Each structure stands twice: as C-alpha cells, then as structure tokens.
C-alpha cells in the first residue's frame, strides 16, 4: 500500500507555536466544551456579533502581512475578504489571532515552486496551498497558488483553518482535537487535514465530484462529513457560536469520528 500523502510528500507538519495558555483563558472558545464531552447552550435565532466584520477586517489589514507577488487586485481583495469572513463570527477567535504569532500571506505566481520562497522542499507539487511555520522564522506563513484560487473555491478557508489550528489554539486544546479524532484518522497530519476540510464546509456550499474523489484523507473526509458528527458541531460552534449546533439531534447523541 502506498504511503498516505498530505501537503508534504514526507508527511511532515509545521513546527507551530501554540497560543499562550493565559490568552486562551482570557478568550475562551465554547466549542472545546463539545469535545470534552460537555454541553453548550444553543443559540436559537442568535445574531452574529455586530462588530465582528469590522474587527476581522482590521486584523487582516493591520496584522496580516501580505505579499501578492503581482497577483491581480481583484484576487487579492477576494482572498482578504474570505480570510476576514472566516473570523468574523467569533470575537474570541479574532482576539486570539490578534494575540497569536504573526502571519504572512503569500500569493505564489503560476509556475513557481513553493520551495523558491523558502517553504520545505518536501511540499507536494500537487499542493495548491500551504500553511507552514518554523521556530527560526519571524512569522508563520500561508502560501496560496494564484492559478488555483479560482478552481479551488475552498482554498483560502482550508489554509486559514490550518493557521487557526496552529496559532489560535493552546497546546491543550490542540491535544484535545487529536485525542478526539485519532480514533478514526490514524495520524496527526490526517487530523490536521480533517479539521481544515470540516472548516471548508462552513463557508463553501457543496462539494464537487472531483473533490469527493480526491486521494487519501481529502476525499475520505469530504465523503464522511455529516451534520450529526460531534466534530461538525465543534467546527460550527468555533466559527459561529451564535448559530444552533449542527445536526437535528445536536447535543443528544454521539456518532463516529468524534
């Protein structure tokens, strides 16, 4: 059997700096209560935070270093808007990203390898984007291929989810995710991809047949995604704590995949 492939050919993952525990205590995320086997109060008819969009845009504008490398202005704007949209529903998540390790976004020109920009040489040539970090770097980094942004509508949300998991969660919170999901997905690299894939579903409507047939964990997780999964409820509450929990019997029953 061929080895599982992720965004890197050797299965390596970024060496992240988790959020400081004290910041996590000041900005608690109710979603983690679901993974701990607890309960959260559902918001029936809740409203998104009025200041959420402005605060999210301010983070993207002031805290996110952008390197467009000649990308069209419309593409740059779309990427910035999608990153802000991913944060706008949860003020605590925005505050965590503001306090977290700084982040650089790079839009890689067509035909260029990510290694040319200092990313690992083990990056898969099929990878449309990558979140990466290393203790020697001054900032964590996201790379998005300019020529894949139109065909892969979920790309921004997928890689931003990796950044959120790596930078905005404490070490204890990240371990809780792994403890929940390693029962089904047998490696941490696979769990990282599942979190990003479940995040995609909260922002992009529908999944193409091409993406459902994607190799390895990418196709598997998209096929297995279900409203009834505890992990779906966790991800939805993370981004939209004002919405009802996912699933018609949310909070009452468990399912596989956490």
Which is it for strands 140-145 and 129-132: parallel, antiparallel or unpaired?
A: antiparallel
Q: Residue 40: what pLDDT? A: 57
Main-chain dihedrals φ then ψ at residue 79, nearest 5 degrees:
-60, -45
Positive or negative torsion for Cα 32, 36, 41, 46: positive
Q: With beta carbons less than 8 A apart as the criterion, state whether 35 and 176 touch.
A: yes
Residue spans per domain, the chain? 21-239
Q: Residue 222: what pLDDT? A: 81
Burial class (CB in 10 A: 0-12, 13-18, 19+), 214: middle
Two tokens, residue 43 = 């918001």
Main-chain dihedrals φ then ψ at residue 139, nearest 5 degrees:
-145, 150
Positive or negative torsion for Cα 185, 103, 89, 171: positive
**For every one of its 258 residues, what pLDDT tens digit does the chain have, with 9 covering 90 and above?**
344 556 888 888 999 999 999 999 999 999 999 998 755 555 556 899 999 999 999 999 999 999 999 999 999 999 999 999 999 999 999 999 999 999 999 999 999 999 999 999 999 888 999 999 999 999 999 999 999 999 999 999 999 999 999 999 999 999 999 999 998 888 899 899 999 999 999 999 877 777 777 767 777 778 778 888 889 999 999 999 999 876 544 333 334 444
Q: Residue 221: what pLDDT? A: 76
Q: With beta carbons less than 8 A apart as the criterion, state whether 165 and 192 touch.
A: yes
Task: Tell me which residue has tokens 């371990």.
Answer: 175
Torsion of CA 80, 86, 88, 89, to 10 degrees: 170
Counting every residue written for the chain, the total comes to 258
pTM exceeds cut of 0.85: yes
Q: Residue 227: what pLDDT? A: 84
How far is residue 86's CA from residue 205's CA, in Å, rounded to a whole number? 14
CA angle 15, 21, 27 (to 5 degrees): 115
- State in Å, rounded, how far the first CA of the chain is from the last one: 26
Tell me the Ramachandran region of residue 57: left when phi exceeds 0, alpha when psi lies from -120 to 50, beta otherwise.
Answer: alpha
Positive or negative torsion for Cα 149, 2, 166, 211: positive
How far is residue 207's CA from residue 107's CA, in Å, rounded to a whole number? 24
Q: Residue 99: what pLDDT? A: 98
Two tokens, residue 126 = 């099929």
């Amino acid at each position: 059997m061929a080895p599982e492939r992720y965004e890197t050919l050797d299965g390596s993952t970024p060496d992240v700096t988790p959020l400081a525990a004290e910041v996590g205590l000041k900005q608690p995320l109710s979603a983690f209560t679901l993974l701990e086997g607890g309960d959260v109060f559902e918001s029936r008819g809740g409203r998104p935070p009025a200041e959420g969009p402005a605060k999210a845009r301010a983070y993207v504008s002031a805290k996110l270093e952008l390197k467009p490398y000649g990308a069209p202005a419309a593409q740059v704007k779309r990427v910035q808007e999608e990153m802000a949209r991913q944060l706008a529903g949860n003020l605590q998540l925005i505050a965590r990203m503001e306090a977290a390790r700084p982040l650089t976004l790079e839009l890689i020109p067509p035909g260029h390898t990510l290694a040319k920009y200092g990313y690992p040489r083990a990056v898969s040539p099929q990878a449309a984007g990558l979140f990466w970090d290393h203790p020697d770097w001054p900032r964590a980094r996201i790379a998005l291929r300019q020529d894949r942004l139109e065909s892969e509508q979920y790309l921004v949300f997928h890689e931003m989810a990796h950044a959120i998991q790596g930078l905005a969660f404490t070490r204890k919170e990240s371990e809780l995710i792994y403890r929940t999901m390693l029962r089904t997905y047998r490696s941490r690299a696979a769990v990282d991809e599942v979190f990003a894939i479940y995040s995609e579903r909260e922002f992009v409507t529908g999944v193409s047949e091409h993406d459902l047939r994607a190799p390895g964990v990418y196709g598997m997780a998209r096929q297995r995604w279900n409203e009834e999964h505890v992990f779906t409820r966790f991800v939805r509450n993370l981004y939209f704590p004002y919405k009802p929990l996912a699933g018609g019997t949310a909070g009452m029953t468990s399912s596989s995949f956490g």
